[in-house]
Amino acid sequence: MDQFNNKLKRLLWLHFGENPDYPKECEPLFQMISDAFDSDEQEYALLNRIMDLSSKELFDANTELRKRNQELDSLVYTTTHDLRAPLTSILGLLDLIEIALNEEEKADFLAKIKSSAIQLDYFIRDIVDYTHNKKASVLIQEVDFEALIEKCFKKLEFMRNASHVKKQVSIQSTTAFYSDPKRLENLLSNLISNSIKYYNPKAEEPAVELIVSEQENGVNIVCQDNGIGIKKEHHEQVFDMFYRASSTSKGSGIGLYIVREIVEKLGGNISMTSELGIGTTFHVFLPNKVTR
């Protein structure tokens, strides 16, 4: 009787009392019932696990969907505002050019038009980067940090004030590192362009330094600048979508949001330290996606 399923044992006790004395011929039948109870219990446990899993998946999918919906709302709101603002100013300036009194005034309006067009271009690029990170599949390749960082600097060469900021790079990593180079390029470009955008003209030598160092299962990337810094009260939110940490911020407020999304997609983590008037440092850890 010991070998029987507990539920069956209970039924036998109920029926025959503490020391069941049932006919021996019944044993095979009881064994069959016991096996059936066992298999029922296993199926029930499996069903419970599946239900637990699917309700967790549903909950996660719902949370993700809510987040995406909120993002979409802000995206539509901010996109229409941020695309229209420079466009409206370009249209106004074009009207002014028509009635400009002299060449000097015209040149001034043209410079303002150029600046608005550049702002528009940066914003559209940010949206393209955002969409790329969301949609494109992760493409793992060996990363050449030196070439990649060089490419980012080159791309940002014509940014306003880029020539005022000294660029330093230190790569202390010898093991082959695998990740998604396109996403990594977006990530680094965003961090470097912020260091240029928010450089401190009062600093003795405005600079941005990139340090790549090898870790056990990946790399640490440090992007450090001596720019204007970020007030403590904004530290929590700088990675939020469309968050600008100062009223003088000229960007779309989406750059660091994209950076954090990229880091998440690549399975890493990111943190920031910053002090107003001193500078800002971003620490990024990315795992090596090498396939052994």
Smallest separation, CB 133 to ligand ADP (Å): 14
Closest chain position to ligand ADP (CB)? 251
Smallest separation, CB 55 to ligand ADP (Å): 35
Smallest separation, CB 206 to ligand ADP (Å): 11
Give the number of other Cβ atoms within 10 Å of residue 208's Cβ.
24
Smallest separation, CB 184 to ligand ADP (Å): 17
Smallest separation, CB 289 to ligand ADP (Å): 25
Region binding ligand ADP by CB under 6 A among candidate stretches 16-24, 66-74, 213-221, 244-252: 244-252
Strands 218-225 and 279-287: antiparallel
Residues 196-235 that bind ligand ADP (CB under 6 A): 197-198, 225, 227-230
Compute the distance between CA of residue 6 and CA of residue 86 in angstroms, rounded to an integer: 76
Task: Identify the CA nearest to 40 among candidates 6, 13, 14, 15.
Answer: 6
Q: Which of 34, 173, 195, 224 binds ligand ADP (CB under 6 A)?
A: 195
Q: Which of 217, 246, 269, 271 binds ligand ADP (CB under 6 A)?
A: 246
Side by side, the strands of the sheet bearing 207-214 are: 166-172, 207-214, 218-225, 279-287, 269-275
- How many residues are present in the chain? 292
249 is a site residue for ligand ADP (CB under 6 A): yes
Tell how far CA 269 is from the center of its chain: 9
Helix 27-98 and helix 6-16: axis angle, to 10°? 140
Compute the distance between CA of residue 184 and CA of residue 95 in angstroms, rounded to an integer: 42
Say if residues 262 and 139 touch (Cβ distance below 8 Å): no
Smallest separation, CB 165 to ligand ADP (Å): 11
Give 2's DSSP letter.
T
Compute the distance between CA of residue 34 and CA of residue 31 in angstroms, rounded to an integer: 5
Enumerate the β-bridge partners of residue 284: 221, 270
Compute the distance between CA of residue 103 and CA of residue 80 in angstroms, rounded to an integer: 33
Q: Which of 244, 265, 283, 289 binds ligand ADP (CB under 6 A)?
A: 244
238 is a site residue for ligand ADP (CB under 6 A): yes
Q: Which of 34, 116, 226, 280 binds ligand ADP (CB under 6 A)?
A: 280
Smallest separation, CB 202 to ligand ADP (Å): 14
Return the percent helix, strand and coil in the chain, to nearest 5: 55, 15, 30
**Nearer to ligand ADP by C-beta: 206 or 253?**
253
251 is a site residue for ligand ADP (CB under 6 A): yes
Q: Which of 97, 140, 167, 243 binds ligand ADP (CB under 6 A)?
A: 243
**Nearer to ligand ADP by C-beta: 178 or 243?**
243
Residues 115-134 that bind ligand ADP (CB under 6 A): none
Q: Which residues bind ligand ADP (CB under 6 A)?
A: 190, 194-195, 197-198, 225, 227-230, 238, 243-246, 249, 251-257, 280
